[in-house]
């Protein structure tokens, strides 16, 4: 499965102590990217957070949210940014029709 995900992060929220220096002076910052099945009111279905240690997860510490985004292309069944306004329950009074052949 291939996807293109467009994200935006808030650089002010990055913990600079977590920047890792690699070979030849390259610097890396690890991120977690979470792809959701549903879209928020801004048409985003991707969240970006800092990774947590096992101890932080066990202590149920809140994740550090860095940004968000959306899937803009996929060759699989993952939802892409096609956000639609949801109807309120009071407006949708029609009963679903059973179109099953049996």
pLDDT digits (tens, 9 = 90+) for 15-72: 999 999 998 999 999 999 999 989 999 999 999 999 999 999 999 999 999 999 999 9
pLDDT, residue 69, reads 96
43 is a domain residue: yes
The rounded distance, in Å, linking the Cα atoms of 92 and 102 is 26
Query: With bands split at pLDDT 50, 70 and 90, how would you rate the model's confidence at 75?
Result: confident
Residue 35 φ/ψ, nearest 5 degrees: -105, 120
Does the residue 82 lie in any domain? no
Instruction: For residue 99, tell me if it sits in a domain.
Output: no
Return the pLDDT at 3: 86
Cα distances (Å, whole numbers) of residue 77 to 55, 70, 73, 74: 34, 14, 11, 7
Domain ranges, residue 23:
3-74
Buried b (16+ CB within 10 A) or exposed e, 42-70: eebbbbbbbebeeeeeeeeeeebebbbbb
The answer as to whether 41 is a domain residue is yes
User: How many domains does one find in the chain?
Assistant: 1
Examine residue 8 and state whether it is found in any structural domain, yes or no. Answer: yes
Q: Is residue 61 included in any domain, yes or no?
A: yes
Above 50 in pLDDT, residue 90? Answer: no
Is 12 part of any domain? yes
Size of the chain in residues? 102
Q: Look at residue 37 in the predicted model and tell me its pLDDT.
A: 87
98 within a domain of the structure (yes/no): no
Which are the contacts of 61, defined by CB distance < 8 A and separation ≥ 6?
A: 52
């Amino acid at each position: 499965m291939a996807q293109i995900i467009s994200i935006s992060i808030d650089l002010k929220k990055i913990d600079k102590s977590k920047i890792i220096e690699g070979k030849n002076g390259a610097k890396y910052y690890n991120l977690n990217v979470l792809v959701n099945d549903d879209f928020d009111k801004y048409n985003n279905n991707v969240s970006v957070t800092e990774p947590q240690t096992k101890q932080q997860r066990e202590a149920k510490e809140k994740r550090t949210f860095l940004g968000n985004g959306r899937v803009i292309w996929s060759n699989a069944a993952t939802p892409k940014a096609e956000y639609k306004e949801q109807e309120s329950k009071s407006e949708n009074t029609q009963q679903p029709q059973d179109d099953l052949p049996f």
